[in-house]
Amino acid sequence: MALTQTHKRVGIPGLAACLAAGLALALTACAPAGSGKDAKGDAAPGKFVVARTADIDQLDPHKATAFQTIATLGLVYDRLVTVDKTGRLTPGLAEKWTAEDGGRTLTFTLRKGVTWHDGEAFDSADVKASLDRILEEKTGAVARSNLTVIDGVDTPDATTVKLNLTRPSTALLYALTSVNAAILDEADIEKDTVGKEPDGTGPFAWKSWNQGQNVTLTGNPKYFGGAPAIKTLEFRTIPAESSILAGMKAGAFQLGLLSDPSVAQQATGNDAFRLVKQPSLAYHALMLNGRKGPLEERAVRQAIACAIDPGQVVQTAAYGDGAATGPITSPAYRYSTTEGLPCTPGNAQQAKDLLAQGGHPDGVTLETIVMTDGYSTAVAEAQNVQAQLAKIGVKLELKQLTTAPYVKAWVAADFDAAIALNGGSYDPYLMYGRYFTDGGSLAKAAGLDSPKISELLARGDEATDDATRQATYKELQRELLTESPWAWMSQSADYYLVGTGVEGFEARPDQALSSLASAKNAG
């Protein structure tokens, strides 16, 4: 799961003199401390402020699930392999890689001269220690199930790493691009300081974290990709997106991150910034816990999926800015969003019939968790879905939670249903392997055990030709809709307010902020 949330509502230090009458936290042309401007309102050299509604929730990249946390730690920690915004694999800490033994061995040649932020040299021992840590079950690493195909890690010398695989895996290289597969310093792992004192090889080094307020990073002058033009990068937590918009108008921030279409619609015709809309790989879903009560019955899950009209959710909660989706959002794998469902989505009578088939003609009651301080449409989505399901006798008892309790309940599967925004991927296996394969890292939260879905995922991952992968993942999508472990609703877009002086920033479908390593504020 990937979430966008914040810990608590906070004010902005030094902002009192800048409040506009009638608009809480609205910013005028004066410059709050740390805004990226000096006392005269001119751009502070090398300072770059990103405004967003949510704070990070932890410092361990191997355990991170929140979008904000992943985006932030992705600037501190590097991976063996990276991916550009089109989904093309590119070198990271590894300059190159080759497959041998029919794809059962991957050999990586590491970059020379890379150092950790504390000045120590990076080498193959760090890679082995990091991958071993992820694969160690007690770590609780999010990416573990995506890497279990690794049977062993050999390090013939300081710049060579060999991965011995139990089988060929087409998704493995993509799995290694994830922040959840970040390479850590072997010494930090041995000292047990991971998650306490961030030390990476990335373009930015860790400086400070004031929970609920801001995270500050500093440019890494020794970064192998070139020293960032941004010397100080601050992520500021601004709970209201309307206040982010106001701050951008005032020139207080260089970049504003939005998820609310209604706020984005107001972000036009201003000389202080430009609006960038980026369709996302992420998807909105009502997750169902198929291991509890009436949801153990497939017909009941199908009834819920059939009762929900995704278009109505999009129109009501997202002002029409979104599109209905099936399980797979990967651009290279596009299939019918309804094939596999025994109904037409939004057909209440068909849904009632399925509910009766499942042994609950009078309906069911489901405790449903929903975030209150996360992405902007969450509560509105929950309320719309609640109203739609009420028509067939399914009652959603909404349990509104802030970040920490929501994540805790979600990971523990302590819910009947959950309104969620989950991260997508360029590779379908990476979207659902961690949820629905045997021993998947997030299998508990997924709420369903299906040998067939697990087998389809493994088959697709092992396939090396595109025709087989296309056919397999089409069958996977159909089976996911038939089993209806969740009700898939829509894909949406992310919005970025980019200051007019900002050069080099590129929005990405995966929400990564990696382009900040080469961006600059020339204004």
| Spans of all domains in the chain | 16-75+202-272+500-521, 81-191, 280-492
Strand 214-219 with 394-401, pairing? unpaired
Q: Give the SS3 label for residue 134.
A: helix
CATH architecture, range 280-492: Roll (3.10)
* The pLDDT value given to residue 464: 84
d(CA 298, CA 301): 5
Give the other-Cβ count within 10 Å of 112's Cβ. 12
* The pLDDT value given to residue 45: 57
Q: Per the structure block, which two tokens stand in for 438? A: 């045997």
d(CA 303, CA 352): 7
CATH architecture, range 16-75+202-272+500-521: 3-Layer(aba) Sandwich (3.40)
Round to the nearest angstrom and report the end-to-end CA distance of the chain.
37
DSSP assignments along 332-399, one per residue: T----SSBTBSS-TT-HHHHHHHHHHTT-TT-EEEEEEEESSBSTTHHHHHHHHHHHHHTTTEEEEEE
- List the alpha helices (DSSP H) in 144-207: 144-147, 172-175, 186-191
DSSP assignments along 266-312, one per residue: T--S-TTEEEEEEEEEEEEEEEE-TTSGGGGSHHHHHHHHHH--HHH
Q: Per the structure block, which two tokens stand in for 59? A: 């410092």
Q: How wide is the angle at C-alpha 329 spanned by C-alphas 323 and 332, nearest 5°?
A: 120
Distances (CA, A) of 351 to 73, 85, 482, 490: 43, 40, 14, 19
Q: Which H/E stretch holds residue 256?
A: strand 255-258
Give the other-Cβ count within 10 Å of 349's Cβ. 12
Low pLDDT (below 50) residues in the chain: 1-43
Contact 295, 302 (CB under 8 A): no
* The pLDDT value given to residue 403: 74
Q: Give the SS3 label for residue 170.
A: coil
CATH 3.90.76.10 is right for the domain spanning 81-191:
yes
Give burial (CB, 10 Å; 0-12/13-18/19+) of 324: middle
- Domains 16-75+202-272+500-521 and 280-492 agree in fold: no
Contacts of 511 (CB under 8 A, 6+ apart): 67, 70, 71, 280, 282, 423, 494
* The pLDDT value given to residue 465: 87
Q: Per the structure block, which two tokens stand in for 87? A: 């989904």
Instruction: Give buried/exposed letters for 398-413 (b at 16+ CB in 10 A, else e).
Output: bbbbbbeebbebbbeb
Q: Name residue, tokens 């106001």.
A: 246
* The pLDDT value given to residue 22: 31
Q: Give the SS3 label for residue 502.
A: strand
Region for 464 from its dihedrals, namely left if φ exceeds 0, alpha if ψ lies in -120 to 50, beta otherwise: alpha
Contacts of 159 (CB under 8 A, 6+ apart): 109, 110, 111, 112, 123, 124
d(CA 268, CA 249): 10
Contact 250, 449 (CB under 8 A): no
